[in-house]
Amino acid sequence: MNRINNLIKVALKSIAKNRMRSLLTSLGIIIGVSAVIVMVAVGQGSQAKIEEQVASLGTNLIVIFPGISKSGGVSQGAGSFNRFTLKDAEKIAEQATLVKDVSPIVRSGGQVIGGGTNWNTTINGVSPQYFDLREWGLEYGEIFTERDVQVCKKVAILGKTIADELFPGQDPTGETIRIRNTPFIVIGVLKEKGKNAMGSDQDDIIFAPSTTVLYRLKGRQFIDMINAGAVSTDKMDAAQAEIRSILREAHKLDEGDDDDFTITNQTEITDMASETSRTMTLLLGAVAGVSLIVGGIGIMNIMLVSVTERTREIGIRLSIGARANDILVQFLSEAVVLSLFGGIIGILLALLISGILNNFTELRTVIKPFIVILAFAFSGSVGIFFGFYPARKAANLNPIDALRYE
Amino acid sequence: MENVENVIVTKNLTKVYQMGVVRVHALKEINLTVQRGEFVAIMGASGSGKSTLMNMLGCLDQPTSGDYFLDGKNVNSLDKNEYAEIRNQKIGFVFQGFNLLARTTALENVELPLMYDRYNRIKEPHKAAKSALERVGLTDRMNHLPNQLSGGQQQRVAIARALVTQPSILMADEPTGNLDSLNSIEIFSLFQTLNQEGITIVMVTHERDFADYATRIVEMRDGHIRRDWIIQNRRNAQADLVQYKANGSATEEIYEQN
């Protein structure tokens, strides 16, 4: 054991005596390790960001779109487009046992005038449950009531962006705004929700009772979609099945007819988004992994040069009784120490870079301990793997040939 | 069983080099015996095989055929690791070019062979290395690097390194080939002192004058031992040194006076 310690000491001394060479050797590993960690951190950061954004839609959210009705797989064409009415939403709310909140969504848009300025935005007609569904709290005021929905009351709840544009720096509740020339009274302002997964501003929106938007702004009877919230995450599938059978009955579909609507849920959207970013993480990691291997080859190159350069030294050591194994251990520990050193510096560099990315750019990075340990272990293996060949080459030299080498 | 008083016994030791299609017989059936306490000088022109023989005896190279008994043990049957062990424990080898590790102090250079001793025969490596350096007269140069030492001093570090493992035999391949006359005589003076203390020495030299410091000369030519004789009028390096220093004159004059 003492002998091994001494051999490692020899390796360390040789590294210390050739600082520049050692640094250059480690550089490949430093870059490789930090690239792997930073790339994976960026990937995982964006994954976390996407998951967060999807979660901001509201948990356990089920989205139901109307679709083209088909009969026995044959599309019935454009005229057969089956739209939802407020009745569909009401039926789900009344009959479904696994659904907690239901809201129809009526989309409209247009010019909004208020506070002496104007803004073009989206106006969504919803039910009071919508805000529970989206887990969206109020900054000012209050939400409209079921009664307001029944009487088509002209009240509006503003998204943060709208409130800031029309009434900067003040509480706009009680103010009157005109949406497409129809006056609405502002009764509340929502908290900021930020951008969604697609990057559009979720706060650039006005909410009003569904009936108000439907009858007073659009003057029609069809709603655009229905949002529903399952009672719990593990009841999602059951809730979807329930909604499906309620809607099939409401639309009087026979057995064998295809659904004339589409049901998707939160988990599906989340899965898709995180699948995409997982693929990206893998891709980035693979590219960075290649650079780590290139770094390893760099170590092998320098070690091979070092073996050639130090052939005489090896000869001297062999001539005074070093065994092939002693030389092997010496050169191998040099390679391993260099790559582990590179690994540590690489990790520190990665922490620094990801700190900079987090603080000064839009990118978000998440460094998981697992990837740090993996990168470190990998850099050690790179040292052993790429150090072994030069070390063995050195160890198998014939003492007299090594001594004669000029 | 070989007589243990014979440190070296070779039987028909032969070395053939394959140079492309040509086979070069560097050593042809050498039979040589060196007894404990001898100081043997191997002489010969370049190409006579003296260095090849030295490398065989020093276990730095392996013979093509024949037997080599070192301390009564046939070393030809040994594997690579056992060879390394023989080099480490039984033989102290001194080279013409010193072969010290650069950027490594004299003391660390001398300690080096002890690092490779798996049996830790020498209990206190540091102390042993110091006393070996004292023995060659370099007490005040222990922490100097090789490039801070003169040629003669470097060679004495190399000798200390060879002695530190307490080998059965000290081998030197043209130990003064890179040194001037004064330093050469000093080295031979050291060799004679060590020899008197009981160390067996085999050295290669191509200068007849230096060979006369030994007790026996083996002259080689074309891979054979041509002559092998005991020196009658052995030169005393210490006396030469005193005279050299007193006169401040060239060595040739000393040799003429003798």
pLDDT per position as a tens digit, A286-338: 887 887 788 778 778 877 887 888 888 899 999 999 999 999 988 888 888 88
Does A103 lie in the same domain as A233?
Answer: yes
Distance (Å) from the C-alpha of residue B1 to the closest C-alpha of chain A? 26
Using an 8 Å Cβ cutoff, are B72 and B234 in contact?
no
CB contact under 8 A, A399 and B87: yes
**Answer CATH for B37-63+79-257 from 3.40.50.920, 3.40.605.10, 1.20.1280.50, 3.40.50.300:** 3.40.50.300
| A72 within a domain of the structure (yes/no) | no
B63: its two tokens: 């013979």
On the question of pLDDT at B58 being above 70, the answer is yes
Nearest to A320 among B55, B81, B112 (CB): B112
CB contact under 8 A, A320 and B80: no
| A141 within a domain of the structure (yes/no) | yes
pLDDT at A73: 56
Does A218 lie in the same domain as A112?
Answer: yes
Q: What sign does the CA torsion over B89, B94, B99, B100 have?
A: positive
Lowest-confidence pick of A128-137, A168-177, A189-198, B62-71: A189-198
pLDDT at A306: 79
Using an 8 Å Cβ cutoff, are B257 and B246 in contact?
no
Does A44 lie in the same domain as A168?
Answer: no
Residues 6+ apart with CB under 8 A from B254: B240, B243, B244, B247
Verdict on whether the full-model pTM lies above 0.80:
no
Q: How does pLDDT run across B116-141, given as a tens digit for each residue?
A: 888 888 888 899 999 999 999 999 99
Count residue pairs from A and B with Cβ separation < 8 A: 63
Q: Nearest-CA neighbor of A221 among A106, A129, A68, A64?
A: A106
Q: Coil, strand, or helix at residue A229?
A: strand
Q: Nearest-CA neighbor of B71 among B160, B167, B159?
A: B167
CB contact under 8 A, B60 and A400: yes
Task: Write the burial class of residue B252 (CB in 10 Å: 0-12 exposed, 13-18 middle, 19+ buried).
Answer: exposed
On the question of pLDDT at B159 being above 90, the answer is yes
pLDDT at B1: 44
pLDDT at A79: 45
On the question of pLDDT at A341 being above 80, the answer is yes
Q: How does pLDDT run across A11-65, given as a tens digit for each residue?
A: 888 888 888 888 888 888 888 888 888 888 888 888 887 777 776 666 688 888 8
| A11 within a domain of the structure (yes/no) | yes
Chain A neighbors of B84, CB-CB under 8 A: 318, 321-324
CB contact under 8 A, B103 and A17: yes
ipTM for the complex? 0.90
| A318 within a domain of the structure (yes/no) | yes
Confidence of residue A279 (pLDDT cuts 50, 70, 90): confident
On the question of pLDDT at B235 being above 50, the answer is yes
Q: What sign does the CA torsion over A123, A127, A131, A133 have?
A: negative
Using an 8 Å Cβ cutoff, are A129 and A115 in contact?
no
pLDDT at A31: 86
- Average of per-residue pLDDT across A256-284: 78
Does A204 lie in the same domain as A168?
Answer: yes
Does A162 lie in the same domain as A232?
Answer: yes
pLDDT at A291: 78
Confidence of residue B219 (pLDDT cuts 50, 70, 90): very high
pLDDT at B145: 94
Confidence of residue B258 (pLDDT cuts 50, 70, 90): very low
- The residue in chain B having the minimum alpha-carbon distance to the alpha carbon of residue A318 is B84
Does the beta carbon of B85 lie under 8 angstroms from any beta carbon of chain A?
yes
Gyration radius (Cα) of chain B, Å: 18
To test the contact with chain B by mutation, choose from A2, A3, A14, A319 the residue with the greatest count of B C-beta atoms within 10 A, namely A319
Quickly tell me which residue has 């990937």 as its tokens: A43
CB contact under 8 A, A403 and B60: yes
| A67 within a domain of the structure (yes/no) | no
Distance (Å) from the C-alpha of residue A327 to the closest C-alpha of chain B? 10
| Strands of the B22-35 sheet, one edge to the other | B22-35, B6-19, B65-70, B73-74
Residues in chain A: 406
Q: Give the total number of structural domains in chain A.
A: 2
pLDDT at B65: 92
Using an 8 Å Cβ cutoff, are B11 and B31 in contact?
yes
H/E element, A404: helix A399-404
pLDDT at A233: 76
Which residues of A lie inside 8 Å of B (Cβ-Cβ)?
A: 2-3, 6-7, 10, 17, 312-313, 315-326, 398-400, 403
pLDDT at B2: 47
Q: For chain B, give the DSSP string.
A: ---TTEEEEEEEEEEEEEETTEEEEEEEEEEEEEETT-EEEEEE-TTSSHHHHHHHHTTSS--SEEEEEETTEEGGG--HHHHHHHHHHTEEEE-TT--PPTTS-HHHHHHHHHHT-TT--SS-HHHHHHHHHHHTT-GGGTT--GGGS-HHHHHHHHHHHHHTT--SEEEEESTTTTS-HHHHHHHHHHHHHHHHTT-EEEEE-S-HHHHTTSSEEEEEETTEEEEEEE-SS---HHHHHHHHHHH---HHHHHHH-
Does A88 lie in the same domain as A46?
Answer: no
How crowded is residue A1: how many other Cβ atoms within 10 Å of its Cβ?
Answer: 5
Task: Write the burial class of residue A288 (CB in 10 Å: 0-12 exposed, 13-18 middle, 19+ buried).
Answer: buried
Q: Nearest-CA neighbor of A325 among B92, B76, B59, B84?
A: B84
CB contact under 8 A, A321 and B87: yes
Chain A neighbors of B112, CB-CB under 8 A: 317, 320
Instruction: Tell me the helices (H) and strands (E) count for chain A, helix number first.
Output: 13, 12
pLDDT at A248: 87
Q: For A109-161, give the DSSP string.
A: EEEEEETTEEEEEEEEEE-TTHHHHTT--EEEE----HHHHHTT--EEEE-HH
Q: Are strands B39-44 and A261-265 parallel, antiparallel or unpaired?
A: unpaired
Distance CA A313, CA A405 (A): 10
Q: For A315-363, give the DSSP string.
A: HHHHHTT--HHHHHHHHHHHHHHHHHHHHHHHHHHHHHHHHHHHHHSS-
Does A246 lie in the same domain as A127?
Answer: yes
Does A103 lie in the same domain as A192?
Answer: yes
Does A303 lie in the same domain as A233?
Answer: no
CB contact under 8 A, B87 and A319: yes
- The residue in chain A having the minimum alpha-carbon distance to the alpha carbon of residue B116 is A322
Distance (Å) from the C-alpha of residue A368 to the closest C-alpha of chain B? 43
Does A171 lie in the same domain as A245?
Answer: yes
Phi, psi of A251 (to 5 degrees): -90, 5
Nearest to B80 among A7, A17, A324 (CB): A324
CB contact under 8 A, A326 and B116: yes
Distance CA A355, CA A45 (A): 12
Using an 8 Å Cβ cutoff, are B6 and B34 in contact?
yes
Chain A neighbors of B58, CB-CB under 8 A: 319
Enclosing domain of residue A333 = 2-53+271-404
| A238 within a domain of the structure (yes/no) | yes
Q: How does pLDDT run across B69-118, given as a tens digit for each residue?
A: 999 889 988 888 999 999 999 999 999 999 999 888 999 999 999 988 88
Task: Write the burial class of residue A47 (CB in 10 Å: 0-12 exposed, 13-18 middle, 19+ buried).
Answer: buried
On the question of pLDDT at B161 being above 70, the answer is yes
On the question of pLDDT at B32 being above 80, the answer is yes
Binding-face residues of B in 92-151 toward A, CB within 8 A:
93, 95, 99-101, 103, 112-113, 115-118, 120
On the question of pLDDT at A3 being above 80, the answer is no
Phi, psi of B61 (to 5 degrees): -145, 155
Distance (Å) from the C-alpha of residue A33 to the closest C-alpha of chain B? 32
CB contact under 8 A, A313 and B101: yes
Chain B neighbors of A325, CB-CB under 8 A: 81
Distance (Å) from the C-alpha of residue A401 to the closest C-alpha of chain B? 9
Residues 6+ apart with CB under 8 A from A295: A27, A28, A29, A30, A31, A32, A33, A342, A382
Does A187 lie in the same domain as A121?
Answer: yes
| A370 within a domain of the structure (yes/no) | yes
A341: its two tokens: 């050193």
pLDDT at B8: 94
- The residue in chain A having the minimum alpha-carbon distance to the alpha carbon of residue B87 is A321
Buried b (16+ CB within 10 A) or exposed e, B221-248: eebebeeeeeeeeebebeebbebbeeee
Q: How does pLDDT run across A75-112, given as a tens digit for each residue?
A: 555 444 567 888 888 888 888 888 888 999 998 888 89
Nearest to B84 among A313, A323, A400 (CB): A323
- The overall average pLDDT reported for chain A is 84
Chain A neighbors of B81, CB-CB under 8 A: 323-325
A142: its two tokens: 């209050």
Does A393 lie in the same domain as A360?
Answer: yes
Q: How does pLDDT run across A372-392, given as a tens digit for each residue?
A: 898 888 888 887 888 888 888
